[in-house]
Each structure stands twice: as structure tokens, then as C-alpha cells.
Amino acid sequence: MSDAPHPMIQSEFDLIQTYFAALGPHREDVDLGVGDDCALLRPPPNRLLAQTQDTLAEGVHFAVGADPEALGHKALAVNLSDLAAMGAEPAWFSLGLTLPQADTAWVAAFAHGMAVLARAHGVRLVGGDTTRGPRSISIHAQGFVAAGRELRRSRARPGDLVYVSGTLGDAALGLMQQQGEWDGGAQHAALAERLHRPEPRVLLGRRLGGVAHAAIDLSDGLAADLGHICTASGVGARFELGRLPLSAAGRAYLAVTGDWMPFIAGGDDYELCFTLDPALEREAAAICRAAGCVCRHVGEVVAGDGVHCIAPDGAELSLARGGYEHFSG
Ligand code: ADP
Ligand code: MG
């Protein structure tokens, strides 16, 4: 915190040295990491550098008093999820951290949550900036992908199958539970985990590179994010409610409320949605198994535009923006 009063400077410098100078595994392609004016990095010569940034702000993306260890995980996870959705192999990240005060216990827990995920994915923290202000975390992550194997949003084709990984709506139900709008009962812990500790589908994304036509990570809900693929590709898509993968918690919610909205429009799941030539269905199934993910065929890419949601009785439901009322039971 360069704008901190003088007596704080040393301790905040120490905080960075203690918790951020060696976060993540050693990498040969990091010539110089945390500590100088810039990091010095060696991108591989024959691959594209994939780059992304995501910010979490207190009161917007996480609640006041949120568990710092989970926040450290999630802040990195959402960035790794972007790299996954591009088919990229994560390599490095930098951390812009804004804190109301230098709180050692908070930083220690935050750095631990981040470090565990960083090690799991082989990514190294190579720099950042620490400032004083309302709590927010902004991460900038880089990865590599061979040209031609990247998963762009713009390459879906009519006739492609639409797939999603994992289960949908759990993070939205976790948020409703946190806000007292839904009681997950026996699934309480599972829903909280899905909201606070998303697992980026990095291996799945990398293996789908060069196989899937288009991909996106589900941060805003299936309807909206599949819509981004459609817009970028100049196509339409349809998905069937009856095909959507629901967890036990999701099925319990649906049985009680009849409300499909968390599954269609719930954010923060960080699963992958991808489109695939039907001829590659078997290959994709093998890839998903090898990546440890269950992936489900939920619909098709069609000529035209827009995302069309098909109810179990075959009727098309309107997906008008803000159209929650169409779905609540
Ligand atoms: P400068 O004023 O030259 O930008 P800083 O004092 O901000 O330097 O940072 C010193 C070093 O610590 C730099 O290498 C910077 O990348 C690193 N750094 C600062 N904050 C963080 C952080 N939150 N996470 C990782 N590295 C950080
Ligand atoms: Mg600085």
C-alpha cells in the first residue's frame, strides 16, 4: 500500500513478501517474479498467449465478512475458468488487492486459499499491486494455447450439439440459501461449496481444444452465456429443460418450487458450455471422462438467432430478458 502512512509501509511490504512472493509452484518460464518493478516472463514461442481479467468486489460479488480462504480460491478460480473456456493452459497471474486495512490473519487465509488452487493448476503469482480502499480483488491471468486449438465463442455451427459440464444452478441456489430465500437442508454444505469454491474446468477445456467448435464458461447462466456463443457465431440455439443436468439439491428445489430459473439463468456455476460436431460425440465423451467431468447434451445449434428454451411438454418458453415470471411455478 504505497499510500499508507509511513509506519505501515514496512509491515505491508513484509505482508507481500511473506504471503505473495512465492505463491504457486516454481516455473522455469518465470525469469523474475514478485519483487521488482515488473515480472519477466518467457512465453513459449509457438503458442498464443491467452489473457483474462476478473474482479470481485465486496458487496457486489461477495458479502461483507466472507471467508477469506474461500475468496482466495474463488478469485483465482473465476480467472482459470476463463482460460479453461478458451482451451488454454494456465501459467501466470497477477493480483490487484485493495484492502481497507493490512489485516495479517485475513491475508494469510486468503493467500492460503489461493495457493492451494494455484498449485493444483501449476500457476504462479508473478506480481500485483496492493492498495488501500474498499475490499476488492482483481486478478489478471495468462495461459497458452496452440493456434487452431483455441475455443472461440464465434465458431458454433448449425447442427452442432450443445453440451454443458457438471450440474447447473447450484451456485444460484447457494446464494439463495445464503440470503435466506431457500433452505438447502441436507444439501446445505454442497450448495455453499458450489457458490464459494467453484472448480474451474481447466483440464476439460484444454482437452476440448481442437475438438469442440465453440465454448464459454457459465458465469451468467446457460441462457445468457449460450446467447453469447450464438451472437458471436451468428447462429441460434435451443436447449431442453428436461435435459439440463441437476444435482440432488437442484432436483429437490425443482420438486418443491417448480421454478426452473436457477438452472436457466443462475450465475456463478463456472461450468463449461460447448458446441460440438455430432460426429465427434464419442470422442467428446472420452475427453469428458478423462477430464473427470460429466458432460450432458442439452440442445443443438440452429440456423437463425436467439436462444430457445423447450419445456418438457415440447412448448417453447420465452426467454425475454428479466422474464423470471415465465418460469416460476
Ligand atoms: P511498484 O511501486 O514498483 O509498483 P510495489 O511496491 O507496488 O512496487 O510492489 C512491489 C512488488 O511487489 C512488485 O513486484 C509487485 O508486483 C509486487 N506486489 C505488490 N502487491 C502484490 C500482490 N498483491 N500480489 C503479488 N505481488 C504484489
Ligand atoms: Mg505498485
Q: If you ran DSSP here, which 8-state letter would residue 88 be given?
A: P
- Distance in Å, CA 184 to ligand 1 centroid: 41
Could you tell me the fold of the domain covering 153-317? Phosphoribosyl-aminoimidazole Synthetase; Chain A, domain 2 (3.90.650)
Helix (H) or strand (E) holding 207: helix 202-208
Amino acid at 45: P
- Going by alpha carbons, the residue nearest to atom 10 of ligand 1 is 35
Q: Is 76 in the pocket of ligand 1 (CB under 6 A)?
A: no
Could you tell me the fold of the domain covering 12-146? 60s Ribosomal Protein L30; Chain: A; (3.30.1330)
Using CA atoms, how far apart are residues 87 and 146, in angstroms rounded to an integer? 9
Name the pLDDT band for 48 (thresholds 50, 70, 90): very high
Whether pLDDT at 6 is above 80: no
Which pLDDT tens digit goes with each residue over 143-157? Answer: 999 999 999 999 999
The pLDDT score that the predictor gives to residue 321 is 52
Cell 461449496 -> residue: 193
* Cell numbers found for residue 276: 460440438
Q: What are the sequence ranges of the domains in the chain? A: 12-146, 153-317
For 106-139, give one letter per residue: b (16+ CB within 10 A) or e.
bbebbbebbbebbebbebbbbbbebebeebbbbb
Ligand nearest to the CA of 36: 1
Which pLDDT tens digit goes with each residue over 90-133? Answer: 999 999 999 999 899 999 999 999 999 999 999 999 999 999 99
- Distance in Å, CA 14 to ligand 2 centroid: 14
The pLDDT score that the predictor gives to residue 318 is 81
- Predicted TM-score (pTM) of the model is 0.93
Question: Do 268 and 170 touch, CB atoms closer than 8 A?
Answer: no
Q: Which of 129, 132, 137, 138 to mutate to test the pocket of ligand 1 (most atoms within 8 A of CB)?
A: 129
Phi-psi region of 240 (alpha: psi -120 to 50; beta: other; left: phi over 0): beta
- Going by alpha carbons, the residue nearest to atom 8 of ligand 1 is 37
Cell 489485516 -> residue: 103
Question: Do 14 and 107 touch, CB atoms closer than 8 A?
Answer: no
Name the pLDDT band for 325 (thresholds 50, 70, 90): very low
Residue 129 CA: nearest ligand 1 atom is: 20
